[in-house]
């Protein structure tokens, strides 16, 4: 069986929604923790670090949340990459297609001020607190939400590495990788005779 046409996009949108909802929930529970940025999108390829200021409010803590597909590969024993030669007869795709998603959350980092002084320890500690809370929130949201994005049977996934990115270009944040199993559920197209 082949993948349905919207399998990747629907999964990416579901992950974006899960993470955004979790960030908002954390913001409601913890004073001074920013919620989901208004700039939250599924993007093609690696996200550009356009700006970490919230474009909706100008809030320096607003940031940018993106989900993108890093790679797709066949898998007979998920999450291992399948190296089987295919295409000898008919449509015989592997039982699973593995998709590696990257969730990137950026916030503004404290910068050198107009007088050339570096950020204070208090400013750095406040930025670290936001980053650390974001880190745990993103991780927990994927662990709790991903299994429920595929109906009754659940969804198989492997949490990948999370790393702190930046500060760079005035932004600091996290990048979380996750490999998700997509079972085939659409029939292969009919072969056309020449």
For tokens 């760079």, name the residue.
Answer: 168
Quote the CA–CA distance of 167 and 52 in Å, as a whole number: 11
Q: What is the pLDDT of residue 111?
A: 87
pLDDT digits (tens, 9 = 90+) for 116-151: 899 999 999 999 999 999 999 999 999 999 988 876
Residue 75 has pLDDT above 80, yes or no: yes
Distances, alpha carbon 110 to alpha carbons 29, 97, 122, in Å: 24, 41, 10
- Residue 179 forms beta bridges with which residues? 100, 158
Task: For residue 186, name the pLDDT band (cuts at 50, 70, 90).
Answer: low
DSSP string covering 51-116: --S-TTT--TT--EEEEEEEEEEEESSTTSPP-----SSS----SEEEEEEEEEEEEEPP---TTS
Q: What is the pLDDT of residue 59?
A: 61
Residue 53 has pLDDT above 80, yes or no: no
Q: What is the pLDDT of residue 76?
A: 86
Compute the chain's Rg from CA coordinates: 20
**101 with 142: CB under 8 angstroms?**
no
Average pLDDT, the chain: 87
Q: What is the pLDDT of residue 121?
A: 95
As a whole number, mean pLDDT of residues 163-178 equals 92
Q: What is the pLDDT of residue 188?
A: 60
């Amino acid at each position: 069986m082949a993948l349905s046409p919207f399998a990747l996009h629907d999964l990416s949108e579901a992950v974006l929604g899960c993470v955004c909802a979790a960030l908002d929930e954390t913001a409601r529970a913890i004073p001074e923790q920013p919620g989901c940025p208004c700039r939250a999108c599924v993007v093609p390829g690696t996200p550009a670090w356009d700006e970490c200021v919230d474009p909706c409010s100008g809030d320096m803590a607003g940031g940018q949340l993106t989900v993108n597909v890093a790679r797709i590969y066949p898998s007979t024993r998920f999450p291992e990459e399948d190296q089987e030669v295919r295409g000898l007869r008919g449509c015989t795709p592997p039982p699973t297609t593995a998709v590696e998603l990257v969730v990137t959350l950026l916030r503004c980092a404290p910068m050198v001020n107009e007088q050339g002084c570096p950020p204070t320890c208090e400013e750095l500690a406040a930025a670290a607190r936001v980053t650390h809370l974001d880190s745990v929130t993103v991780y927990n949201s994927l662990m709790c939400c991903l299994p429920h994005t595929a109906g009754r049977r659940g969804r198989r996934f492997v949490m990948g590495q999370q790393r702190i990115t930046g500060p760079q270009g005035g932004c600091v944040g996290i990048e979380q990788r996750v490999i998700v199993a997509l079972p085939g559920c659409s029939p292969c197209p009919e072969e056309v005779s020449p």
